[in-house]
């Protein structure tokens, strides 16, 4: 079976940091373009960041560029999202997702909740 | 990176057809044939139902179909069933990706 399992969510104060991790299994992680996607409470899905298979390219939505950093460890089949300078509007369920090709996200984790609040 | 525009809601009775639109710009939807659609039941992971405008992944019923004209893509659900009630999102490949605003489909 193919799986993506996110971890690392929790409650953090505004201005704080958090690191999310996504553990992949059952497929060739090292040949997959990977993404983080989030959904704020009562809102729609928002693409956050993506990273190329070999880690040489990364892209971010404007609202997180400079604060969030996506990374991957192909040897461990894991994807990470380092989130710094967190804001209240970063509160969301964060999903890890595999990109089948050109923004076709065919495999999703169950998500991890990040709450930014004082 | 502005969100693609979808109607907030759509509805239909069982057996009917409903079409959901997804409007972008010449820099995203209009630029590439890389529009995908997702079905999202609350509390569950989103599911890919259409990719590259009109292709269906294995296992997705042919009741789901996609098309595109200019800067607007569309998802049509034919023969509506109760389990089709969900939120639907489009995405387009751009500099990264951009999602639509989402449409809540209600089966009356």
Please tell me the predicted confidence (pLDDT) of residue B75.
98
Residues A81, A95: Cα–Cα separation, whole Å: 11
- For residue A37, which residues of chain B lie inside 8 Å, CB to CB? 99
The pLDDT, as a whole number, for residue A102 is 87
How far is residue A85's CA from residue A71's CA, in Å, rounded to a whole number? 18
Mean per-residue pLDDT, B3-16: 96
pLDDT, position B96: 84
Q: How confident is the model at residue B1 (pLDDT cuts 50, 70, 90)?
A: confident
B93 at interface of A, judged by CB pairs closer than 8 A: yes
* Facing residue for A103 by CB, picked from B40, B45, B97: B97
B11-15, B26-30, B87-91: range with lowest mean pLDDT: B26-30
φ/ψ of residue A90, rounded to 5: -90, -5
Q: Which pair of tokens denotes residue B78?
A: 């034919």
Q: Are B4 and B72 in contact (CB under 8 A)?
A: no
CB atoms within 10 A of CB B86: 21
- Judged by CB atoms closer than 8 Å, whether chains meet at A103 and B1 is answered as no
* Interchain proximity B34–A103, CB inside 8 Å: yes
Is B45 at the interface with chain A, CB within 8 A? yes
Q: What is the pLDDT of residue A100?
A: 87
- B38 and A61 within 8 Å at the Cβ level: the answer is no
pLDDT at res. B95: 75
Instruction: Examine the pLDDT at B87 and tell me if it is beyond 80.
Output: yes
What pLDDT shows up at residue B49?
Answer: 97
Asked if A92 contacts A114 with a C-beta cutoff of 8 angstroms, the reply is yes
The confidence score (pLDDT) of residue B13 equals: 96
- Span A55-101, pLDDT tens digits: 999 999 999 999 999 999 999 999 999 999 999 999 999 999 999 88
- Calpha distance A104→A52 (Å, rounded): 14
Pick from A47, A49, A106: CB nearest B48: A106
Which one of B48, B93, B99 has the shortest CB-CB distance to A44? Answer: B99
A91 interface with B at CB cutoff 8 Å: no
Q: Compute the count of residue pairs across chains A and B with CB atoms less than 8 Å apart.
A: 68
Closest CA to A45 of B20, B86, B32: B86
């Amino acid at each position: 079976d193919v799986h993506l399992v996110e971890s690392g969510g929790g409650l953090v104060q505004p201005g704080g940091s958090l690191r999310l991790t996504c553990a992949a299994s059952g497929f060739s992680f090292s040949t997959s373009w990977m993404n983080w996607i989030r959904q704020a409470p009562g809102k729609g899905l928002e693409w956050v960041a993506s990273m190329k298979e070999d880690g040489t390219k990364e892209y971010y939505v404007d609202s997180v560029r400079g604060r969030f950093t996506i990374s991957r460890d192909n040897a461990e089949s894991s994807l990470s999202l380092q989130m710094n300078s967190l804001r209240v509007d970063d509160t969301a369920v964060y999903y890890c997702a595999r990109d089948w090709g050109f923004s076709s996200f065919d495999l999703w984790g169950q998500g991890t909740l990040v709450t930014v609040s004082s | 990176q502005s969100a693609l525009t979808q109607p907030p809601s759509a509805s239909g009775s069982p057996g009917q057809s409903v079409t959901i639109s997804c409007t972008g710009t010449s820099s995203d939807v209009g630029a590439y044939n890389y529009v995908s659609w997702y079905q999202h039941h609350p509390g569950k992971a989103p599911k890919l139902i259409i990719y590259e405008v009109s292709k269906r992944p294995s296992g997705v019923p042919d009741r789901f179909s996609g098309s595109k004209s200019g800067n607007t893509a569309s998802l049509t659900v034919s023969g509506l069933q109760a389990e089709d009630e969900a939120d639907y999102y489009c995405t387009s490949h751009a500099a990264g990706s951009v999602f639509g605003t989402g449409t809540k489909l209600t089966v009356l």
